[in-house]
Structure 1
Amino acid sequence: MDGACLERQPHGPGAVRIRALTAAESRAAVPGLTDVLLDCVEGGASVSFMAPLDRATAEGFWREVADGVERGDRILLIAEDGADTLGTVQLVVRQPPNQPHRADLSKMLVHRRARRRGVGALLMQAAEEAARAAGKTLLVLDTASPDAERLYARAGWVKAGVIPNYALWPGGGFCDTTYFYKALD
């Protein structure tokens, strides 16, 4: 999907563009991606980080992601509205030798100011297209968010099960994690 993009309301206010980033673009996008991650953690999203999350740690995470893009381990997609980063999702395409057909959908993040605008659905659609282009036929993900669960179910993902007390909320306390999968055509 490198270089390709999906657009919603392609012209005028509210235009959202989804695109896959190169390694160099991933590095340049670190400030905006950091803002999205900080907002999600501040908003209580269980996305591997504890609150308060400092900017340096978040930036370090995105630099590691950019390194993974450069190695070909992952595909990084971004949702933009003009110059603002609205959201992101990753596909971890490098898998063990016995799972070349599979990718993990990871770090589906949408800034709170951009929610309920279809950004998550566009990111999911673009991720599935990028996975197909990479030769993947099975996607898996996990989530602790009931809102995200509804999004995934609407997109045709199958709930595989729930693991209780899998992770911690950013402010502490256990949260359950739900696993989903989707077989691609």
Structure 2
Amino acid sequence: MRKEIVAAGFGGQGIVFMGIIAATAAGIYDDKEVAQSQSYGPSARGGACRTEVILSDEKIDYGKSIKPDVMVLMSQPAKEKYLGELEDENTILIIDSSLVENVSEKFKNVYKIPATDIAEKELGNVAAANMVILGAVSSITNLISLDGIKSAVRQKLENKQKVLELNLTAIDKGYQYGKNILHGSDCLNG
């Protein structure tokens, strides 16, 4: 089983950190083979940013995304730049509906998570939007466990207690939001 997750947004949103946490969670805590890569636009903060996480039960022979199973979009420019790459209309799209608009109706599995709004209004820190959306990815796709994600965050932020607690709360909020969508059959097109 090879599964590919691509996440894109702009520099400063924590896209790369999200990829690192996802890869650590899947590789160390969920016992999967993983490969993670990242790319930036011309300027790190504010420019285009992308991470790819490849998950498998077998050795990974190519560490880049070929045909994403999941695409996470956290900005309108990322949608405009990367959505055109998707040929499979069954790809799971998880978008930050606070920042991304007008996803084509050809895509059948679009999940709208207001990650930036949740982070800002419920957590008081917009920087936690990446962990909100990662929590939602866990509950919607079941590709990476909630426990694995939390363990990876604890490992990476063990000396930053305040940031750690914020991120753990953000993950829980996103996970619950994703579960609510699934149980409410709220998968929205477009």
Report TM bin, short chain: 0.3 to 0.5
Higher strand share: 1
